[in-house]
Amino acid sequence: MTTTDPDSHQGERSQNAILYRMVMPTHVCPSGLKAKALLERRGYSVDDRWLRSRDDVEAIKAELDVKTTPQVIIDGMPVGGYTDTLDHFGITRRDPQAKTYTPVFALFAVAALLAVLLNLPAFTADPAKALIRTVEQFIAGSMILFGLQKLRDLEAFSTQFLGYDLLAQRRVRYAYFYPFAETGAGLLMFAGLLPWLAAPVGLFISIVGAVSVYKAVYIDKRSLKCACVGGNSNVPLGFVSLTENLMMMAMAVWMLFKLFNPSLVPT
């Protein structure tokens, strides 16, 4: 008896599937495209049947007695839509409502790569200076990226932010000011400009943020979602949110130190 590598799906090459999906002049169904790609990855020969009009869609829904498209039929057996096809193959689906730190880790990773790549040539000439600048730009870059996420939808951000920020709860306009302050301070810190302005702004908003997160999570024991990557996010409010504020705080203190002690910092 022989076994088949589950990743190669060679044993499924002769299997057939029918796919009904919307392909209209003004709309191509994303779930239909995903279903087609999934079936092909699994080694199926796909009979791709396009539904080119609303009449086509309604007709196939009536014929198959289903409420939605796309619809997949494997070897003559109805499977259902894209998510049903995932279930058919035993592929675990992530709950879209589940809390996750993925957006934060992705943002930090991009900021870190940006800082390293920008300063990579300088490590040969002056490693100490390059390392300091890399860390500075990593933190400042993170502030910029976090700020941009908040600026995408100020209303959604402010609503989620008001759930835990102590100053915003007293002065609602602060919830609208915060993303601009974070992004602006981050830009100035990244470029090394106007430290006398960027550092105090960064220090102020980070202290308020750190105190607010600590109180909500560690004193009040509340289970909340963080607005750090914008409103309507599923990022839990907790250690990572506190770390973001502490990093911003450290950057602001460092910039003030450099401002008043330039001779102690490599230039």
> Residues 122-162: pLDDT tens digits?
998 889 999 999 999 999 999 999 999 999 999 999 999 99
Q: Which domain holds residue 166?
A: 102-264
Residue 137 structure tokens? 């730009």
CATH code of residue 77: 3.40.30.10
pLDDT band at 72 (very low <50, low <70, confident <90, very high): very high
Q: Which of 52-66, 204-218, 235-249 has the lowest mean pLDDT?
A: 235-249
Determine the distance from the C-alpha atom of residue 199 to the mean position of all C-alpha atoms in its chain, rounded to a whole number. 27
C-alpha to C-alpha distance for 203 and 210, rounded to whole angstroms: 10
User: What pLDDT is recorded for position 207?
Assistant: 97
166 in the same domain as 66 = no
pLDDT higher than threshold 60 for residue 2: no
User: What pLDDT is recorded for position 66?
Assistant: 93
58 in the same domain as 117 = no
User: What pLDDT is recorded for position 57?
Assistant: 95
Last residue of a domain, one of 63, 88, 113: 88
CB 174 within 8 A of CB 165: yes
User: What pLDDT is recorded for position 250?
Assistant: 95
At residue 267's C-alpha, the angle toward residues 135 and 257, to 5°, is 65
**Helix H or strand E segment including 72:** strand 71-74
User: What pLDDT is recorded for position 99?
Assistant: 79
Secondary structure class of 27 (helix, strand, coil)? strand
Residue 95 domain-assigned (yes or no): no
Residue 28 domain-assigned (yes or no): yes
63 in the same domain as 110 = no
Hey, which residues does 72 pair with through a beta bridge?
Answer: 19, 80
CB 20 within 8 A of CB 49: yes
187 in the same domain as 75 = no
C-alpha to C-alpha distance for 182 and 78, rounded to whole angstroms: 52
Residue 171 domain-assigned (yes or no): yes
57 in the same domain as 25 = yes
C-alpha to C-alpha distance for 133 and 137, rounded to whole angstroms: 6
Between 9 and 114, where is the model more confident? 114
51 in the same domain as 159 = no
User: What pLDDT is recorded for position 74?
Assistant: 94
pLDDT band at 113 (very low <50, low <70, confident <90, very high): very high
Residue 2 domain-assigned (yes or no): no
What global pTM score does this model have?
A: 0.81
219 in the same domain as 107 = yes
C-alpha to C-alpha distance for 147 and 140, rounded to whole angstroms: 11
Q: Number of folded domains in the chain?
A: 2
30 in the same domain as 125 = no
247 in the same domain as 189 = yes
- List of residues 6+ apart from 45 with CB closer than 8 A: 13, 14, 15, 16, 17
pLDDT band at 12 (very low <50, low <70, confident <90, very high): very low
Q: Which of 43-47, 65-69, 91-95 has the lowest mean pLDDT?
A: 91-95
* Of 220, 205, 208, 240, residue with least CA distance to 107: 240
146 in the same domain as 49 = no
Residue 175 domain-assigned (yes or no): yes
Residue 164 domain-assigned (yes or no): yes
What average pLDDT score do residues 98-105 get? Answer: 86
254 in the same domain as 140 = yes
Residue 185 domain-assigned (yes or no): yes
User: What pLDDT is recorded for position 267?
Assistant: 60
Residue 169 domain-assigned (yes or no): yes
- List of residues 6+ apart from 14 with CB closer than 8 A: 45
219 in the same domain as 178 = yes
